[in-house]
Structure 1
Amino acid sequence: MKKVQQGFTLIELMIVVAIIGILAAVAIPAYQDYLARAQAAEAASLLGGLKTGIAEYYSTNGSVPDVTSDLGSPVLFGKYVSKIENPSNSTDIVATFKSASVNAKLQGLTVTMTFNTNGQFTWDCGTIPTAVQPSVCK
């Protein structure tokens, strides 16, 4: 009786491994950018949560509040954001990313939300790479 050959050849297996390697080389950087965008969105979310309190404080007191003391107890840090502050009670409220446990593209960078006295908020993402900026900065 004749035996029927079964299985894959070494060449076929090597081609499959090469294809998987090429797909991984494309997918891993895209996934890293996806994670960085998600981490950057945390800063915009935390700053956005302060909008109502800042606007109410300004309409009542005629000045921009110190976010660390005048707004009660807002969330001033997150998993990737180390602190939120407005230096010298300026109209700029700055969220600073941690220097560890965050994507390397975001480490130590800032997202700034500026309150204009007409009640509008503007955003500045500074030196955060365009590919990973939160949507409020685009």
Structure 2
Amino acid sequence: MKNSKLKTKNSKLIRRAFTLVELMIVVAILGILAAVVVPEFQNHQQKAKETQAKANLKLLREAIERYTAEHNGTPPGYINGAAGPRGTWLMQLVHCTNLNGQYIYSKIPNDDYIYGPYISGFPANPFNKLITVMDIPDDMDMPGEATGENGWIYRPKTGEIRLDYPGTDSEGISLYTY
């Protein structure tokens, strides 16, 4: 006989592959492991986003507080005491300003624009990856809930900034109330 794997009638077949049953057992074990690991991984991703959101809010709130303190109690968003165009507050945080809130497109202070910058760039909302901001006019209150259409919601009159993302965190706390 030419096939060396089959020696004689009474000899055993030399096995070189897994049986179908063995493969099914391995697949079942992998499925069980995946069912345990994937939810745990997703939970860690959620907690990482929550931590990043809190860190971003802390950074922005501290920048707003520093700006307000250095500009005689006027929060970012105002120029010469009057509400500036939409987005003014962001420009005031990332560029240099004077005492009246006027800004120049520079990150290096000079004799006239001695304040700032307060942040190097604007962070994205970690949940929806957006950096857009809904500016709330002075005559309006903050929305009752988040829509998720923007990354952030800011009200210059009060210096209040929030995440614009509906839902709750892993502990059941509304993300909008962070």
RMSD value, Cα: 3.3
What displacement does 1:3 show? 4.0
What displacement does 1:84 show? 2.2
**1:54/1:64 contact within 8 Å kept:** yes
- Structure 1 gaps, min length 5: 98-107, 110-126
The amino acid across from 2:154 in the alignment is N
Which structure has the larger Rg over C-alpha atoms? 2
TM-score, scaled relative to structure 2 = 0.46
Q: Greater RCO between the two (CA within 8 Å, min separation 6)? A: 1
SS of aligned partner of 1:65: coil
Comparing 88-97 and 65-74, the one that deviates more: 65-74
- Answering whether residue 13 of structure 2 is matched by residue 4 of structure 1, we say yes
Which structure shows the bigger proportion of residues in helix conformation? 1
Q: Percent sequence identity over matched residues?
A: 29
- Cα deviation, 1:84-117, whole Å, max 9, x if unaligned, reads 23236335310223xxxxxxxxxx34xxxxxxxx
Q: Per the alignment, do residues 76 and 16 of structure 1 end up closer, same or farther by CA in structure 2, a change over 3 Å counting?
A: closer
Comparing 20-29 and 76-85, the one that deviates more: 76-85
- Cα deviation, 1:8-56, whole Å, max 9, x if unaligned, reads 2322222111111111111111122222223333322322322442222
Aligned to 1:129: 170
Alignment coverage as a number of residue pairs: 108
SS of aligned partner of 1:86: strand
Which structure shows the bigger proportion of residues in strand conformation? 1
- Structure 2 gaps, min length 5: 1-6, 79-86, 95-120, 131-149
